[in-house]
Structure 1
Amino acid sequence: MKNLVILGAGTAGTMMANHLIKALPKSQWQITIVDQFKSHYYQPGFLFIPFGTYQPEDVKKTIDEFIPKGVKLVKEEINKIDNETDSVLLKNGNTIKYDILIIATGCKTAPEEIPGMKGDTWYKNIFDFYTFEGSCALAKKLETWPGGKLVVHITEMPIKCPVAPLEFAFLADDFFTKRGIRDKVEISYVTPLSGAFTKPKTTETLNYLLQEKNIKIVPDFAVEHIEGENGKMFDYGGEEVDFDLLVTVPTNMGDDCILRSGFGDDLNFVPTDKHTLQSKVKENIFVIGDATNVPASKAGSVAHFQAEILTENILKYIEGKPLKPDFDGHANCFIETGKGKALLIDFNYDVEPVKGKFPFAGIGPLNLLEESAFNHFGKMAFRWVYWNMLLPARKIPFVTPKMSKAGKQLDDITV
Structure 2
Amino acid sequence: MKNLVILGAGTSGTMMANHLVSKLPKKEWKITIVDQYKTHYYQPGFLFLPFDIYTEDQVKKVGKKFIPKGVNYIQKKIEQIFPKENKVELEDETLQYDLLIVATGCKIAPQETEGMKGENWHKTVFDFYTYEGSLALRNKLRDWKGGKMVVHFTEMPIKCPVAPLEFVFLADSYFTKKGMRDKVDLTYVTPLGGAFTKPKATAALSHLMKEKNIKVVTDFNIERVDNEKNQIIDYGETAVEFDLLVTVPTNMGDEVIERSGMGDDLNFVPTHHNTLQSIDYENVFVIGDASNIPASKAGSVAHFASETLTDNILLYIDGKPLKEEFDGHANCFIETGNNKALLIDFNYKFEPLEGTFPIAGIGPLKLLKESIFNHWGKLAFRWIYWNMLLKGIPIPMVSRNMSLKGKKIN
User: Which TM bucket (shorter chain)?
Assistant: over 0.9
Cα displacement (A) at 1:170: 0.1
2-structure distance, mates of 1:18, 1:405: 29
**Aligned residue in 1 for 2:189:** 190
Letter in structure 2 aligned against 1:254: G
**Aligned residue in 2 for 1:9:** 9
**Aligned residue in 2 for 1:318:** 317
Instruction: Give secondary structure in 1 for the equivalent of 2:139.
Output: helix
Residues paired across the two proteins, number: 410
Instruction: Give secondary structure in 2 for the equivalent of 1:64.
Output: helix
Asked if the contact 1:121–1:229 (Cα under 8 Å) also holds between the matched residues in 2, the reply is no
Asked if the contact 1:161–1:297 (Cα under 8 Å) also holds between the matched residues in 2, the reply is yes
Offset from partner CA, 1:36-94 (integer Å, 9 cap, x none): 000000000000000000011111000111000010011111111101110001123x1
Asked if the contact 1:258–1:269 (Cα under 8 Å) also holds between the matched residues in 2, the reply is yes
Offset from partner CA, 1:236-268 (integer Å, 9 cap, x none): 011000000000000000000000001200000
1-structure distance, mates of 2:78, 2:361: 49
Instruction: Give secondary structure in 2 for the equivalent of 1:410.
Output: coil
The answer to whether structure 1 residue 286 and structure 2 residue 285 are counterparts is yes
Paired residues for 1:16-415 under 5 Å: 16-92=16-92, 94-411=93-410
1-structure distance, mates of 2:131, 2:228: 24
Asked if the contact 1:176–1:182 (Cα under 8 Å) also holds between the matched residues in 2, the reply is yes
Cα displacement (A) at 1:22: 1.0
1-structure distance, mates of 2:346, 2:49: 28
TM-score calculated relative to the size of structure 1: 0.98
2-structure distance, mates of 1:220, 1:172: 22
1-structure distance, mates of 2:211, 2:88: 52
1-structure distance, mates of 2:281, 2:248: 32
- Identity, % of aligned pairs? 66
1-structure distance, mates of 2:335, 2:370: 9
Instruction: Give secondary structure in 2 for the equivalent of 1:160.
Output: coil
Letter in structure 1 aligned against 2:89: L
2-structure distance, mates of 1:358, 1:257: 39
1-structure distance, mates of 2:265, 2:148: 34
Instruction: Give secondary structure in 2 for the equivalent of 1:23.
Output: coil
Structure 1 residue ranges without an equivalent (≥5): none
1-structure distance, mates of 2:128, 2:403: 32
Cα displacement (A) at 1:228: 2.0
Between stretches 2-11 and 82-91, larger displacement belongs to 82-91
Instruction: Give secondary structure in 2 for the equivalent of 1:79.
Output: strand
Instruction: Give secondary structure in 1 for the equivalent of 2:22.
Output: helix
2-structure distance, mates of 1:281, 1:119: 38
Cα displacement (A) at 1:281: 1.9
1-structure distance, mates of 2:281, 2:353: 37
Cα displacement (A) at 1:229: 2.9
2-structure distance, mates of 1:227, 1:72: 48
Asked if the contact 1:125–1:228 (Cα under 8 Å) also holds between the matched residues in 2, the reply is no
Cα displacement (A) at 1:338: 0.3
Q: After TM superposition, what 4+ stretches of structure 1 lie above 3 angstroms from structure 2? A: none
Cα displacement (A) at 1:354: 1.2
2-structure distance, mates of 1:45, 1:98: 34
2-structure distance, mates of 1:188, 1:228: 18
Structure 2 residue ranges without an equivalent (≥5): none
Asked if the contact 1:106–1:254 (Cα under 8 Å) also holds between the matched residues in 2, the reply is yes
Letter in structure 2 aligned against 1:323: L
Offset from partner CA, 1:208-229 (integer Å, 9 cap, x none): 1111110011000000000123
Letter in structure 2 aligned against 1:355: E
Offset from partner CA, 1:247-300 (integer Å, 9 cap, x none): 000000000000000120000000000000000121000000000000000000
Cα displacement (A) at 1:178: 0.5
Letter in structure 1 aligned against 2:20: L
Offset from partner CA, 1:349-392 (integer Å, 9 cap, x none): 00100110001111000000000000000000000000000001
Asked if the contact 1:3–1:100 (Cα under 8 Å) also holds between the matched residues in 2, the reply is yes
Asked if the contact 1:12–1:304 (Cα under 8 Å) also holds between the matched residues in 2, the reply is yes
Cα displacement (A) at 1:401: 0.3
1-structure distance, mates of 2:348, 2:170: 28
Cα displacement (A) at 1:163: 0.1
